[in-house]
Structure 1
């Protein structure tokens, strides 16, 4: 008789075999007629311009991460809003603490300037400050 782990092991083995067989059959029956046009990089129907290895602003990455973090947290609020009454005061307090942490995170990001697309340029020091540093 198989244990639960044995059943899971058999399931994993069958999944791996299924993937290997599917990839093998795909390689056998697909048309393979490479041309120069098919080997080109595809950019939404436009001809590619320049190298694909271009530097881009890290702000795209930062904004995407902030969006994901707050998006997931907001998604967690919907189930809490539906069932917090079932948990009484404890459920309500847990949700409020969660919202406070969420608000603190948003305030931190706002204060840090990560929510602004173009950061303000730092102001040059005044002449008085420069003279104080020299003496």
Structure 2
């Protein structure tokens, strides 16, 4: 049992050595000449104006979260639907349980009035 820990320890040391070596090699081979023009923020050809701090309303994060939930739902639902005939009834029950969880999330969002755009 202890030799298994030894193998894991050796692999961790080799991985860390490789990581540190890659960073050191990158630092050694990189040529940098920072100038004020290079250090200036650049985005879409527009010169920056004001501070870089902008606050977003929490509503946008909620919409993004809901999108992720339904995208994951689609990722699981469509491939399952293509092979439904071969997997059987137990898979149907599991899919209804999965859809039940998604429905509970949708009902929660609806009840909290997240789905209204005002």
TM-score range, shorter chain: 0.7 to 0.9
Structure 2 CA distance for aligned equivalents of residues 87 and 105 of structure 1: 27
3-state SS in 1 of match to 2:111: helix
Alignment of 1:88-127 (within 5 A): 88-118=88-118
Q: Report the counterpart of residue 58 of structure 1 in structure 2.
A: 58
Alignment of 1:31-110 (within 5 A): 31-110=31-110
Q: Give me the CA root mean square deviation.
A: 2.4
Structure 1 CA distance for aligned equivalents of residues 43 and 8 of structure 2: 42
Structure 2 CA distance for aligned equivalents of residues 4 and 116 of structure 1: 56
Bigger radius of gyration among the two: 1
Deviation digits for residues 32-53 of structure 1 (CA, Å, limit 9, x no counterpart): 2000011112223321121111
- Return the TM-score normalized by structure 2: 0.78
How far 1:85 moved relative to its partner? 4.7
Structure 2 CA distance for aligned equivalents of residues 47 and 3 of structure 1: 60
5+ long unaligned stretches in structure 2 = none
